[in-house]
A and B are shown apart, each in its own frame.
Chain A
């Protein structure tokens, strides 16, 4: 083997199902909502991890889906799941159309031990998101802020339109406060009249502009649709970033075959 993937130490823990309570619902965009869930058996997650949600019908029919945690581990006792409503989705349509404040949701987690970042891992960090792929990266960004880390971070975030940018105001605020987090948006479909960000799908030139100032030691986390993840990961390898420094997670609706 030429390379070895880095395995962080994790203490295994049996994941029990638990019943959470919806304590807040926030509309992020026209088809994305954030559900804040209070957990009776809360444990600190690692930024980037997810929970499994399980729905049960009166006749015993069950279905499960995984959702990334958007909140930081420092937000104790509760987690925030940011969920995009998929027209064909069985669970996301239930969460969006049925679930209200005070409802209960069965879930278990946190899950996943590779697509994670915590301040001790260090940086500099390159975060690349497409659409709702921002969610696990936002947990990393919020964790970084909560612990006062000064690791340099550049976020490149691809959305369809300005209105589709999830966490837009918070990202704007974090970008403006000059804490070492720089946010770069690209809008692939429609732009506001006075848009000074990128206006195309992520390509090599864009990637080079964003990644270069971070140097070859950067750690990259990429989350989004398959085509974006594949393109960006391959692009970073082409730019000379070692594969072991690039972690990927696919997110959002399943693509075509």
Chain B
């Protein structure tokens, strides 16, 4: 067979076509905010909630909910891309930049990755360099209201540059590690890195 495969009779609705520089390959736009989780939504009361940074840092740190809410926060408007193909533009959040959190600890120079850990046991791995420099935050307000539990509330990690499974719901902390290791979906057939612009959806996907 010569040339690329064409789907007979397919033209495409394209009503959901977005700006090409904001919709990665294979994605379509949605106005909804779909909910995807592997198990039941955890419900941790705020007085039992904490956020920790541990692993390769000089002094691990842990904030209660009240302490976390006193950290300098800011507003973020970001596009999010789910591996299940939907993209949502201009989502509005309030939260604490990962930079702000890491300023409070002395990061060991050997730390190259983080493993996010969560209520419910979910984990996900991300290169440290891809969550610093304003690239990621812990969000607790969405559209001006407290983040709903099914969307990861009270707080979720948000890493807009990677597929949204990396934006761990119900996040409770980050462990800094030297060597990369797969998190939950990363050990179940999904891509270890997850860059939507390279369409790194599943194990072995790469564009180079």
Whether B10 and A55, one on each chain, are in contact in the complex, defined by CB atoms closer than 8 angstroms, is yes
Q: B204, A12: Cβ atoms under 8 Å?
A: yes
Residues in A whose Cβ lies below 8 Å from that of B40: 233-234, 236-237, 243, 246, 248
Complex CA distance for A2 and B42, rounded to whole angstroms: 11
CA distance A55 to B7 in the complex (A): 6
Interface contact A5-B184, CB-CB below 8 Å: yes
Check if A56 sits within 8 Å of B10, measured CB to CB.
yes
B184 contacts across to A, CB distance below 8 A: 5, 7, 114
Q: How large is the interface on A (under 10, 10 to 19, 20 to 34, 35 or more residues)?
A: 35 or more
| A243-B122 in contact given A12-B204, A13-B203, A19-B5 (Cβ < 8 Å) | no
Using known A-B contacts A234-B41, A248-B38, determine if residue A56 contacts B204 with beta carbons closer than 8 Å. Answer: no
* Residues of chain A with a CB closer than 8 A to B28's CB: 63, 90
A4-B121, A57-B6 in contact; A233/B41 too (CB < 8 A)?
A: yes
Question: Cβ of A105 < 8 Å from any Cβ of B?
Answer: yes
CB distance from B71 to the nearest CB of A (A): 23
**CB-CB under 8 A for A55 and B34, given A3-B120, A62-B26:** no
Contact present for B121 and A112 (CB under 8 Å): no
Tell me, yes or no, whether A1 is within 8 Å of chain B by CB: yes
**Bound CA–CA A3/B122 (angstroms):** 9
Given A5-B184, A115-B38, A244-B39, does the pair A57, B121 have CB atoms closer than 8 Å?
Answer: no
In the complex, A64 has a CB within 8 A of chain B:
yes
A233 touches B39 (CB 8 A): yes
Interface residues of B in 1-56 (CB under 8 A from A): 4-16, 25-26, 28, 30-42
Residues of A within 8 A of B (CB): 1-5, 7-8, 10, 12-15, 19, 52, 54-58, 60-66, 88, 90, 93-94, 98, 103-106, 111-115, 226, 229-230, 233-234, 236-237, 243-244, 246-250, 254-257
20 pairs, CB–CB < 8 Å, chain A vs chain B: A1-B118, A1-B121, A3-B120, A5-B121, A12-B189, A12-B204, A15-B202, A15-B204, A57-B7, A63-B26, A66-B85, A90-B13, A114-B184, A226-B35, A233-B41, A244-B121, A248-B37, A248-B38, A250-B34, A257-B32
Q: 3 closest pairs, A vs B, by CB?
A: A113-B188, A14-B204, A233-B40
